[in-house]
Amino acid sequence: MIQIVTGDTRPISKQIVDGLRMKIVTGELPPGAKIPSVRGLAMQLTINTNTVARAYAKLTEEGLIEARKGLGLFVCQPRQVLSIDEREKRLDEEVDKFIHEVIGLNFEPEVVVDKVSNKLSEVADKKGD
């Protein structure tokens, strides 16, 4: 379901958030799909329940999943929880951060842009299935 890589620089909870978000966005987990329980996933990954709960809280805040108490967590119908201004702002921030990280690697702009474009296409392709 979700894999944790110890060598990854990202915190465990972020790996869970990123992994699930990707599966939801690509449609691998369609709206209505049930998500592993907090205790179940924690047990499977041999991590703490609080860590999983915090990751799920993040996804809930993003409007990707919702909890039905006593039942479990489920993928939501897609909806925007953020205003367009807020989304624009966050996109700009992320682009800036990305540019700063990449600029020192001294690649040609086209190489970087192509790579981003290809990665986004991969996601869009899965979405189309």
Partner DNA sequence: TGTAGTGTACCATCACACATGGTACACCTA
Partner DNA sequence: TAGGTGTACCATGTGTGATGGTACACTACA
Q: Does 11 engage in binding with DNA (CB under 7 A)?
A: yes
Q: Does 103 engage in binding with a second copy (CB under 8 A)?
A: yes
Q: Which does 35 bind (CB under 5 to 8 A by kind): a second copy, DNA, none?
A: DNA
Q: Which is nearer to DNA, 4 or 102 (CB)?
A: 4
**Which of 38, 3, 7 lies closest to 22, judged by CA?**
3
Q: Does 123 engage in binding with a second copy (CB under 8 A)?
A: yes
Distance CA(112)–CA(26), nearest Å, equals 23
Distance CA(122)–CA(106), nearest Å, equals 25
Q: Which does 117 bind (CB under 5 to 8 A by kind): DNA, a second copy, none?
A: a second copy
Binding mask 38-57 for DNA (x = CB under 7 A): xxx------xxxxx-xx-xx
* Residue 45 DSSP symbol: H
